[in-house]
Amino acid sequence: MTKTTAIYLDNAATTALDDRVLEAMLPFLKNQFGNPSSVHKQGREARVAIEKARKMVAGLLNASPGEIVFTSGGTEADNTAILGAITSLNLTQVISSPLEHHAVLHAAAVYAERLQIPFTLLEVDQQGNLDLNQLARLLEKHPKSLVTLMEGNNEIGNLNDLHAIGNLCKESGAFFHSDTVQTVGHYPHNLKSIPVDAISASAHKFHGPKGVGFLYIKKDRKISPFLHGGSQERNMRGGTENVAGIIGLAKALEISYQEMDSHAAHIKQLKSHFIRQLQQQIPGIGFNGRSSDLNQSLYTVLNVSFPPSESNQGMLLFNLDLQGISASGGSACSSGATLGSHVLQALRCTAERESVRFSFSRFNSVEEVDYTVAALKSLYS
């Protein structure tokens, strides 16, 4: 077993910046540094670049430029959608699931408590399937609800059907927001046909820069801003825009769409190979949620459940890191928490089995997968 470079299999946490994205950003980090709110030449250049990027993003998603609001990332986009929808539309209930990212769960809990409205989590089974019949019943009782359910789960990879959920919301008049941070840039989104009122995205999940994202808000579903200040982003987000970041986001999304089919095919091959090798090499291996089903999970994510092991209990990620392999025990945003993954707890996974999320990108190779399997086999032999 030989290795020459570090193996990065934590792409659901963040992805490497594409060189072409950096190249597009550099002029706005060096020479074209104007404030886009300024009326002079440098400011006008920055404003033109932002609006060109907005048009690019909107065009790729089949949305209108006025429906795209640039943010500091997915967390801000989630908070804006949740608080803005509740307060602007006088909604009387928040509905989510225990599998959501904490950017949604914590925001929804705080705002629901502050505004004194019910906050209900849908029931899920041990595979992470949502109870949409329960959703229908809740919407019948409280039609003026905010429904916030992600498209692709960042830990177990489960994909939710935005059309099925969106149609239920549309029938009742509920506001439907989806955290699509793990799917934008990896799957095509035609926002003219998907029955969703708002989606959130973050550039660093599809080989763009950190610290920038966007919120799509359907044009007939106006909501109030989360950050107040200047009149930036059509009065939807106060604060000087991250010009270089926005340029990088648009370039990364453009590349993602241009090369989506080839990237998806490559990553699916890696994931399929990894699953087969793990099953062949390590007895008692299992997979959490639907992550081993390529048709029902993110092709970028595989959540692996390992058999009980005294030598690896609580140490598996550390042992992998010693061998140059970067992976995650769940959401990277909770990597320092002592309570473990809230997603795996919702699936009622046993504490005796160590679980690791491996997540792939187009920069990974079959050789890296084989090295990782060999390393895992040595830890469980």
* Shared domain check, 239 and 174: yes
Mean of the pLDDT values across residues 110-119? 96
Among 215, 231, 258, residue at a domain's last position: 258
Query: Beta 7-8 vs 213-217: how paired, if at all?
Result: unpaired
Quick check: is 169 catalytic?
no
Please report how many Cα atoms fall inside a 13 Å half-sphere around the Cα of residue 196, on the Cβ side.
Answer: 30
In a domain, 161, yes or no: yes
pLDDT score recorded for residue 333: 52
Q: Which range of residues forms the domain containing residue 214?
A: 19-258
31, exposed or middle or buried, with CB in 10 Å at 0-12, 13-18, 19+? exposed
* Shared domain check, 160 and 26: yes
* Shared domain check, 285 and 230: no
Report residue 3's pLDDT band, with 50, 70 and 90 as the boundaries.
low
pLDDT score recorded for residue 154: 97
* Shared domain check, 285 and 151: no
Among 224, 258, 292, residue at a domain's last position: 258
CATH code, domain with 40:
3.40.640.10
* Shared domain check, 199 and 63: yes
Q: Which residue has the higher pLDDT, 333 or 355?
A: 355
Alpha helix positions (H), 31-73: 41-61
Q: Which residue in the block uniquely carries the two structure tokens 């359907």? A: 218
Stretch among 39-48, 72-81, 302-311, 322-331 having the lowest mean pLDDT: 322-331
Q: Which of 333, 337, 351, 366 is flagged as catalytic?
A: 333
pLDDT score recorded for residue 300: 98
- How far is residue 187's CA from residue 257's CA, in Å, rounded to a whole number? 8
pLDDT score recorded for residue 364: 98
- How far is residue 292's CA from residue 217's CA, in Å, rounded to a whole number? 33
Global pTM reads 0.95
Q: Could you tell me which of 175, 172, 112 has the C-alpha nearest to residue 143? A: 172
* Shared domain check, 192 and 277: no
Q: pLDDT at residue 2 above 80?
A: no
Query: Beta 7-8 vs 198-202: how paired, if at all?
Result: unpaired
Residue-wise pLDDT for 178-195, tens only, equals: 999 999 999 999 999 999
Report residue 340's pLDDT band, with 50, 70 and 90 as the boundaries.
confident
Report residue 337's pLDDT band, with 50, 70 and 90 as the boundaries.
very low
